Amino acid sequence: MKIGIDTFACEGGKTAIGVYVTQLLRRIPPSGALFELFGWDFERFAYSEAAPDLEFVPRCRITGKTANILWHLLKYPQFARDRGYDACFFPSAHRRLPYTSPCPVIGAVHDMGWITKKADEPLDILRRPALAASLRRLDRIIAVSNWIKQELVALAGVKESLIEVVPNGIDHTAFYPRPRNEESVVLIQPFSFRRPYVLCISRIEHPVKNHVRLIQAFSIFKEQTKYPHRLVLAGADDYQAEKVKESAQMSPYKNDIFFTGHFPIKNLPELYAGADIVVVPSLYEGFGMGALEAMASGVPVACSRAASLPETADTAALYFDPYNPEDIAARMITLSTNRDVYRECRRLGLERAAAFSWDACAKQTLAIIQETIGK
């Protein structure tokens, strides 16, 4: 059994989807199946540490989204035929898919926000219905949450019977409660973070990640508590990031707001561990890895009552209305002033995070691929 894994649109292991691919490659149970990766030539070594024995086949020499979409539509079918694949797995099926395939295709969907948000480029107007049609043609779909499953049915017209929900996992060897020392500064080269700080980990994307209202809430928090906290916004600039930074510059507490830019994944556990609280203010999340990573690290979470976040965080977070900065600030104040609530959220968060495992995710994913091939 030979299975191809498409690494296009997985961003070289540097984002949440990249982490998903890396963790699956590390933990796929022995099965006798032969796995093979294909993707950008410049990413040939991105997954070599996670899967040193897997062959990587570079394809699509012309870089860029449009060229890659066309490769999947026009070149992939013959490529899969030539490689002799019994099935292909697309870990980022909400971004890149073929329309036809000579073998069964299984796709993982992490996000459906693309189907409703305003088009960034004219091509998106054509790409969206085409991608929705490709999703409907998949043999099986793995949804990372029940929220995503519901959206696949409602927004893309996918048959519910084709969808399996397989939640993401947590690497508990990386994310775990660390001893809290009394040092006033957290050193993570090349950064120096003065404690205490409120942490938000997300790409800087407006409006979906909701940083502007978080900054407004942070100003309310500072005004009402007079606490010395800083706000650390860790993530690379994305769509309309300049609006977020303009909002930070307008804040009376702008000197306490810190943008890290892209933050190395390997150092995230240390950043979480140094935080007093983590806030997830997003208007949309397909799963909500930031909430789960914080919980596994023993840090209390305040998050939006929106999209998949209540499903992922369950009863272990304090929820707020993401459209109301006063409500966001109120939850931040509660976690910072009420030690009983703080300790209870920490306890419940650790329990919730313990229910998620990359080993279980990899085992379920392999079983779905094998079942699909066997049909």
What's the Rg (C-alpha) of the chain? 21
- Contact between 349 and 176 under an 8 Å Cβ cutoff? The reply is no
Q: How confident is the model at residue 67 (pLDDT cuts 50, 70, 90)?
A: confident
Tell me the average pLDDT across 133-155. 96
Beta-carbon contacts of residue 27 (< 8 Å; ≥ 6 apart): 358, 359, 361, 362, 363
Q: What pLDDT is attached to residue 55?
A: 94
- Contact between 97 and 131 under an 8 Å Cβ cutoff? The reply is yes
CA 10 – CA 326 distance, rounded (Å): 36
pLDDT per residue over 189-246, tens digit each? 888 899 999 999 999 999 999 999 999 999 999 999 999 999 999 999 999 999 999 9
Whole-prediction pTM? 0.93
CA 107 – CA 141 distance, rounded (Å): 5
Q: What pLDDT is attached to residue 16?
A: 87
Residue with the larger pLDDT of the pair 350 and 189:
350
- Contact between 18 and 46 under an 8 Å Cβ cutoff? The reply is yes
Q: How confident is the model at residue 63 (pLDDT cuts 50, 70, 90)?
A: confident
Closest CA to 109 of 79, 145, 80: 145
Amino acid at 250: M
Q: How confident is the model at residue 10 (pLDDT cuts 50, 70, 90)?
A: confident
Q: What percent of the chain stands above pLDDT 70?
A: 97
Residue with tokens 């397989």: 166
Residue with the larger pLDDT of the pair 50 and 354:
354
- Contact between 211 and 259 under an 8 Å Cβ cutoff? The reply is no
CA 191 – CA 66 distance, rounded (Å): 36
**Would the pLDDT of 140 be above 90?**
yes
- Contact between 280 and 302 under an 8 Å Cβ cutoff? The reply is yes
CA 256 – CA 248 distance, rounded (Å): 9
Give the architecture (CATH level 2) of 185-353: 3-Layer(aba) Sandwich (3.40)
**Would the pLDDT of 128 be above 90?**
no
CA 272 – CA 244 distance, rounded (Å): 22
Residue with tokens 């085992």: 363
Alpha carbons within 13 angstroms on the beta-carbon side of residue 371 total: 12
Amino acid at 210: N
CA 188 – CA 205 distance, rounded (Å): 24
CA 296 – CA 269 distance, rounded (Å): 10
**Would the pLDDT of 325 be above 90?**
yes
Q: Is 236 exposed, middle or buried (0-12, 13-18, 19+ CB in 10 A)?
A: middle
Amino acid at 184: S
Q: Which fold is adopted by the domain 2-168+357-374?
A: Rossmann fold (3.40.50)
**Would the pLDDT of 126 be above 80?**
no
CA angle, 296 as apex, 292 and 301 as ends, to 5°?
Answer: 55
pLDDT per residue over 31-41, tens digit each? 889 999 999 99
Tell me the average pLDDT across 26-34. 90
**Would the pLDDT of 61 be above 90?**
no
Residues facing residue 265 across a β-bridge: none
CA 132 – CA 54 distance, rounded (Å): 31
Q: Where in the chain is the domain with CATH 3.40.50.2000?
A: 2-168+357-374, 185-353
Q: How confident is the model at residue 15 (pLDDT cuts 50, 70, 90)?
A: confident
Residue with tokens 């490689």: 83
Q: Are strands 257-261 and 301-304 parallel, antiparallel or unpaired?
A: unpaired
Q: How confident is the model at residue 30 (pLDDT cuts 50, 70, 90)?
A: confident
Q: What pLDDT is attached to residue 13?
A: 75
Q: What pLDDT is attached to residue 121?
A: 58
Residue with tokens 């209305």: 321
Q: What pLDDT is attached to residue 124?
A: 66
Please state the separation of Cα 335 from the chain's center in Å: 25
Average pLDDT, the chain: 93
- Residue 141's SS3 state is strand
How far is CA 12 from each of CA 108, 253, 365, rounded to the nearest angstrom? 17, 36, 20
- Contact between 109 and 152 under an 8 Å Cβ cutoff? The reply is yes
Q: What pLDDT is attached to residue 375?
A: 61
Q: What percent of the chain stands above pLDDT 90?
A: 79
